[in-house]
Structure 1
Amino acid sequence: MDKNTLEKLSAFERIDYAIAMFVREKIHGPILNRTLSRINRGEMMLLLIIPYLAYAAWKEILPYPWWIVIPYAGIIAYANDRFVLFLKKLISRKRPLVTVAGKVDQNPDMKHSFPSAHASNSMTAALILVFLFGFPEWFLVISLLAGIGRLLSLHHFPSDVLGGWVIGTCFGSLGLFLGRWLLPFFFGTT
């Protein structure tokens, strides 16, 4: 980004850009990027959820059976994901890989940075799992790590991640409200 363009940005956008530049110059690298890209997937969250779910079902510490937990959290996270993808296409902000690192890529996803779907989806799922289904609070850390990983791999600006967490918190809260109302009505409590 040239100096004239940088001067036209708001203070908030300059901070976003400065953090992304710092990450590019001091932290970002091919090994870290490859590692974070593999770790920072929804499948990795499932690798943590399924063993805990099996343990909790075996110890009978869940308020609902596992066959309710996974579909309910999945439906709310899916609704969140569709909303985030709509916003990404509507806003069409280029990713830091393009604007900061100068990566040339014809992939249309490279111009869909805001908000971070990883941050949003992981926050939605973590809130529902922790506060509705009684998972340990450390599951919230997964969402924090997902967002930080997206910053370090230059897939998102800080505002993209913060926006994702805010949207994920809204959908997670909606999921908590609906779950606390619907689940006892349809399934009772165990």
Structure 2
Amino acid sequence: MVPPADLDILRSVNQPAGAMVDWAMEAASNRGILLTIAGLAAIYAAFRSVHRWLAAILLLAAIGVADLVSARALKPVVARPRPCQELRDVRAPLECGSGRSFPSTHAADSAAAATVFAWALPRFSALGIVIAAVVGFSRVYLGEHWPSDVLAGWIVGAVIGLSLIFLTRLRYLLVRR
């Protein structure tokens, strides 16, 4: 059973808004674009100073771990169908995904990247947050995820990003002794 809030939000977001909006939402959900942005951010962080190479590695590791935890560990256990699989009236501009819905791996990856990005380059933290928000919105707009899938993905990604930052800082403190 779908929580009423999920259904209400999905129905309000999953409305036709024109070809340009469809194109923008499809672009925001494109993993290749997201990985390119993350890669460029990692390269930028790596060349900012001698210590930023660690941030670059951490950024890519956070995305990888978030992807694994979301797609391989959580989705098979929860096995929640996507809105475009479950509801006939959901508008799905893209072909409906065959996988499971909860949590959103796109949201987890983008939140993990945004968390590490905010830690590594605090001046640009708003950019990472905006990208993660647009990615999450696009997944609901495209009918691929319920809003709670996206929220859970953001939480998973942020926790993974923060955990990797904590472990990195802990290792640094222990090595300095």
TM-score per shorter chain, which class?
0.7 to 0.9
Does residue 100 of the first structure (1) align with residue 78 of the second (2)?
no
CA contact (8 A) 1:129 1:135 kept: no
Match for residue 156 of structure 1? 145
Which protein has the larger Cα radius of gyration, Structure 1 or Structure 2? 1
Query: Structure 1 residue 17: deviation in Å?
Result: 1.3
Q: CA offsets per residue over residues 38-97 of structure 1, 9 Å max, x none?
A: 332343234444555555566x4x46244x333322223212211111211111111111
> What is the CA-CA distance between 1:160 and the residue it aligns to?
0.5
The 1:92/1:54 distance shift into structure 2, 3 A limit, reads: closer
Residue type at the aligned position of 2:103: P
Please give the alpha-carbon distance, in whole angstroms, between the structure 2 residues aligned to 1:106 and 1:54. 34
For 2:45 and 2:59, locate their aligned partners in 1 and report how far apart those are by CA, in whole Å: 16
- Match of residue 64 from structure 1: 51
The alpha-carbon deviation at position 158 of structure 1 amounts to 0.7
Match of 2:76 in 1: 89
Please give the alpha-carbon distance, in whole angstroms, between the structure 1 residues aligned to 2:85 and 2:149.
15
When normalised by structure 1's length, the TM-score is 0.73
Distance 1:33-1:95 versus aligned 2 partners, 3 A rule: farther
C-alpha distance after superposition, 1:155-179 (max 9, x if no partner): 1111001111111111111011012
Q: CA RMSD in A?
A: 3.1
Provide the secondary structure at the position in 2 that maps to 1:114: coil
Aligned residue-pair number: 171
Deviation at 1:123?
0.6
Cα distance change, pair 18–65 in 1 and its aligned pair in 2 (3 A): closer
Aligned counterparts of 2:45 and 2:65: Cα–Cα separation in 1: 26
C-alpha distance 143-63 of structure 1, shift in aligned 2 (>3 A): farther
Q: What is the aligned-residue identity percentage?
A: 24
Q: Counterparts of 2:119 and 2:103 in 1: how far apart (Å)? A: 24
Gap regions ≥5 residues in structure 1? 1-8
Runs of 5+ consecutive residues of structure 2 not aligned to the other structure: none
